[in-house]
Amino acid sequence: MLIPFAAAVAVGLLVLWPGGAPPHKPSGVGFDQPTERARVTEVAEVNCADVHAEQQPQPPSPGGQPPTGGADKGKPCQQATIEVTTGENAGRTFKTVVTPDALRHYTTGQDVVVAYSPKAPKELQYAVSDVDRSLPMWVLAAIFALAVVLVGRLRGVLALVALAASFVVLTLFILPAILQGSNPLVVAVVGGSAIMLIALYLCHGLTARTSVAVLGTLASLLLIGLLGSVFINWALLTGNTDDTTGLVHGLFPDIEIRGLLLAGIIIGSLGVLDDVTVTQTAAVWELKEADPSAGWRKLYGAAMRIGRDHIASVVNTLVLAYAGAALPLLLLFSIAQSSVGTVATSEVVAEEIVRTLVGSIGLVAAVPLTTLLAALVVSADRREPGLAEVADMSAEGEGSGVGTHTGEPIAAGGLADAMAGPKRRRGGHGRRRKR
């Protein structure tokens, strides 16, 4: 069942492979503007009134440049001299003024990112758009990788490899294919399936347990896609609720923004789904190890008791993750002079509600579905030999003193030991033979 699915994913990757993002004429807005590296060479205090008229306008920043605001009376402004260190104009300097109430200030030697506007007057071609935070980000990434490897060991290394592969699929296939005009939903399903197959089999091995987790994840993704499509259309969501989406749509009008919203829901749910399905499958296998005689009904019931706790924690995690990402928006609505119903049904909030609830429904459905599949598979695939089978194997070894089930001699009382072996492997439930 999974072989045709994996083959279909491979064919989808080949057919939809974009070959890179399409070229476009830079708009000079937000992230779509040329940037260069620069360094602060000097910082001086100046009178705000003297430089107010000469202050350079700051262009919109890709990362959301904090506003400089107005100058507080009686407080000096900060004038920084910036030297461009990369690009065709490396070595050029310019000055920028920061008022006392600004959120960001500069220090001598600090690395910054500057926006470059080649068509602007020479004195206005460069302006600080962000600070260079490469070093702390790389250090944090290194600490994360070290923690994963120290705790997870080989599994941790494989998890990092799978993470890198996920980024490769995302940046080389999913994003360029959407920009090329392919259907975002189809691209998300194919790309998400490829990420799922790579991550699960690489981290957990090519086993029946992993295959059950793959099936549970796939079925839940299909449910999320179906529910997302229904409620996005029913709620008349456009997906165009922020400046970034509007900029993307302006640069590439052929992109289906509503499909982009649905693709985001599917990809965003994929990571948490992997956790749910792998955990539930592992629980069923461990329960079977603890009690080899348990049937699929008993395994399902025991694993579902674990799954209910898992559902409560995962749903809460997903809701809080979306709430944390939209915290500034929630703060604005908390002080708005509008009713809760009006705020909740506005498109910018309704989009997040649909995203959260559709993903949560998929997660909830993944628990019983994956648990049932795992219980059926492990019960059919892991039968313990009965007493009659053990006796037959012992009889075949009589005369030579060798039991065929182990290839080793059976001493006095060996048959009893062989018959009690399965019980002892269950965790010591069998009674020890007195010596």
pTM surpassing 0.75?
Answer: no
Q: What is the pLDDT confidence band of residue 142, given thresholds at 50, 70 and 90?
A: very high
**What percentage of the chain reaches a pLDDT higher than 90?**
12
pLDDT, tens digit, for every residue of 318-354? Answer: 677 767 767 777 777 677 666 667 767 777 778 888 8
Q: Cα separation of 314 and 260, whole Å?
A: 25
Label residue 431 exposed, middle or buried (CB < 10 Å: 0-12, 13-18, 19+): exposed
Q: Which pLDDT score is estimated for 371?
A: 92
Q: Which pLDDT score is estimated for 5?
A: 84
Phi-psi region of 414 (alpha: psi -120 to 50; beta: other; left: phi over 0): alpha
Residue 361: CB partners within 8 Å, gap ≥ 6? 223, 224, 227
Q: What is the pLDDT confidence band of residue 51, given thresholds at 50, 70 and 90?
A: low
Cβ pair 273, 361 in contact under 8 A: no
Q: Cα separation of 42 and 108, whole Å?
A: 5
Q: Which pLDDT score is estimated for 181?
A: 79
Q: Cα separation of 372 and 375, whole Å?
A: 5
Alpha helices in 1-87 (DSSP H): 2-16, 48-51
Choose between 26 and 260: higher pLDDT.
260
Residue 272: CB partners within 8 Å, gap ≥ 6? 314, 317, 318, 359, 363
Among 54-68, 105-119, 296-310, whose mean pLDDT is lowest? Answer: 54-68
- Helices then strands, counting H and E runs in the chain, come out as 14, 7
Q: Cα separation of 232 and 245, whole Å?
A: 16
pLDDT, tens digit, for every residue of 52-94? Answer: 545 544 444 444 444 444 545 557 888 889 999 988 888 888 8
Q: In 336-435, which ranges are E strands?
A: 402-403, 408-409
Q: Which pLDDT score is estimated for 32?
A: 63
Cβ pair 192, 267 in contact under 8 A: yes
Query: What does the pLDDT average to over 233-244?
Result: 80
The mean of the pLDDT values for the chain is: 77
Does residue 39 register a pLDDT over 80? yes
For 190, the enclosing helix (H) or strand (E) is helix 184-204
Highest mean pLDDT among 3-12, 141-150, 287-296, 329-338: 141-150
Does residue 21 register a pLDDT over 60? yes
Q: What is the β-pairing status of strands 93-98 and 402-403?
A: unpaired
Query: What does the pLDDT average to over 271-286?
Result: 88
Does residue 314 register a pLDDT over 50? yes
Query: What does the pLDDT average to over 410-418?
Result: 38
Q: Cα separation of 65 and 54, whole Å?
A: 20
396's tokens = 């075949």
Choose between 398 and 140: higher pLDDT.
140
3-class secondary-structure state, position 420? helix
Q: Which pLDDT score is estimated for 62?
A: 46
**Within a 10 A sphere around the Cβ of 411, how many other Cβ atoms?**
9
Does residue 306 register a pLDDT over 60? yes
Does residue 177 register a pLDDT over 80? yes
**Within a 10 A sphere around the Cβ of 390, how many other Cβ atoms?**
19
Q: Which pLDDT score is estimated for 355?
A: 84
363's tokens = 């997660």
pLDDT, tens digit, for every residue of 246-255? Answer: 777 777 777 7
115 closest CA partner among 130, 102, 105, 104: 130
**Within 13 Å, how many C-alpha atoms sit on residue 98's CB side?**
20
pLDDT, tens digit, for every residue of 368-384? Answer: 999 999 999 888 864 44
Among 71-75, 118-122, 124-128, whose mean pLDDT is lowest? Answer: 71-75
